Amino acid sequence: MSLAAALVVLRTLAALERVEPGDGDPPALSPSELQIVETHWSETGIRVRPWVPAKRVATLARGARLIVRGQVASRDSGGCHGKPWYAVYPYGYVCSEHVRRSKAPPALGSALPLAKDRRLPYDYVLTRGESAPIYASTADVLAGKPARTLGAGSNLAVARSLDVAGVPYIETVDGMLVAKQGLGWLGQGSDWVGVPLAPQPGGPAAGPAFAWTLRDKTPVYSEADRKSTQVGVLPLRARVALLEESGESDPDRYWQIAEGQWIHASNLAEVMIIEPPEGVLGDSRVRLGHDQWIDVDLGEQVLVAYRGRTPVYTTLVSSGKGSPTPRGNYPIWAKVASMTMANQDYEDKPYMVEHVPWVLLFQGHNALHGAYWHDRFGNRRSHGCVNLAPRDARFMFDWVSPVLPAAWTGFIPSELARSVVVHVRDSSLPPDQQFIQERPIGPPDPEEEKAKLELAEQRRAEAAAKAQDPLAPPEGAAAVPASVAGHAQGT
Report which of residues 481 and 253 the model is more confident about.
Answer: 253
Q: Judge whether 53 and 45 are in contact, CB under 8 Å.
A: no
> How far is the C-alpha of 143 from the C-alpha of 137, rounded, in Å?
10
> How far is the C-alpha of 169 from the C-alpha of 181, rounded, in Å?
8
> How far is the C-alpha of 72 from the C-alpha of 85, rounded, in Å?
5
Q: What is the pLDDT of residues 226-258, one digit of tens each?
A: 999 999 999 999 999 999 999 877 788 999 999
Mean pLDDT of 9-26: 52
CA 118 to each of CA 113, 174, 189, 191: distance values in angstroms, whole numbers, following the listed order: 10, 21, 10, 10
Mean pLDDT of 2-26: 51
Question: Cα 144 vs. chain centroid, distance in angstroms?
Answer: 36
- Partners of 169 in the β-ladder: 162, 179
Q: What are the two backbone dihedrals, phi and then psi, of residue 233, each rounded to the nearest 5 degrees?
A: -135, 155
| From 246-260, 415-429, 472-486, the region with the lowest mean pLDDT | 472-486
Q: Domain boundaries in the chain?
A: 3-101, 123-185, 211-268, 274-433
Same CATH topology for 3-101 and 274-433: the answer is no
> How far is the C-alpha of 244 from the C-alpha of 247, rounded, in Å?
10
Classified by CATH at the fold level, domain 123-185 comes out as SH3 type barrels. (2.30.30)
Classified by CATH at the fold level, domain 211-268 comes out as SH3 type barrels. (2.30.30)
Mean pLDDT of 38-59: 92
Does pLDDT of 470 surpass 80? no
Q: Judge whether 328 and 437 are in contact, CB under 8 Å.
A: yes
> How far is the C-alpha of 239 from the C-alpha of 234, rounded, in Å?
9
Has domain 274-433 been given CATH number 2.40.440.10? Answer: yes
Q: What are the two backbone dihedrals, phi and then psi, of residue 74, each rounded to the nearest 5 degrees?
A: -65, 140
Count other Cβ atoms within 10 Å, centred on residue 429. Answer: 14
Give the pLDDT score at 472: 63
> How far is the C-alpha of 301 from the C-alpha of 79, rounded, in Å?
46
Burial of 215 (0-12, 13-18, 19+ CB in 10 A): middle
Q: Is the dihedral of CA 112, 411, 397, 341 positive or negative?
A: positive
Q: What is the pLDDT of residues 288-312, one digit of tens each?
A: 567 999 999 999 999 999 999 999 9
Q: Judge whether 352 and 375 are in contact, CB under 8 Å.
A: no
Give the pLDDT score at 450: 83
Secondary structure in 3-state letters for the chain: CCHHHHHHHHHHHHHHHCCCCCCCCCCCCECCCCCEEEECCCEEEEECCCCCCCCEEEEEECCCEEEEEEEECCCCCCCCCCCCEEEECCCCEEEHHHEEECCCCCCCCECCCCCCCCCCCCEEEEECCCEEEEECCHHHHHHCCCCEEEECCCEEEEEEEEEECCEEEEEECCCCEEECCCEEECCCCCCCCCEECCCCCCCCCCEEEEEEECCCCEEEECCCCCCCCEEEEECCCCEECCCEEECCCHHHCEEEEECCEEEEHHHEEEEEECCCCECCECHHHHHCCCCEEEEEECCCCEEEEEECCEEEEEEECECECCCCCCCEEEECCEEEEEEEEECCCCCCCCCEEEEEEEEEEEECCEEEEECCCCCCCCCCCECCCEEECHHHHHHHHHHCCCCCECCEEEECCCCHHHCCEEEEECCCCCHHHCCCCCCCCECCCHHHHHHHHHHHHHHHHHHHHHHHCCCCCCCCCCCCCCCCCCCCCCC
Does pLDDT of 10 surpass 50? no
| From 88-102, 255-269, 451-465, the region with the lowest mean pLDDT | 451-465
The answer for residues whose C-beta is within 8 angstroms of residue 159's C-beta and 6 or more apart is 122, 170, 171, 172, 173, 175
Nearest to 355, CA basis, from 341, 345, 342, 369:
341
Q: What is the pLDDT of residues 342-375, one digit of tens each?
A: 777 777 776 789 999 999 999 999 999 999 999 9
| From 93-102, 368-377, 442-451, the region with the lowest mean pLDDT | 442-451
Question: Cα 237 vs. chain centroid, distance in angstroms?
Answer: 23
Classified by CATH at the fold level, domain 3-101 comes out as SH3 type barrels. (2.30.30)
> How far is the C-alpha of 322 from the C-alpha of 261, rounded, in Å?
35
Burial of 207 (0-12, 13-18, 19+ CB in 10 A): exposed
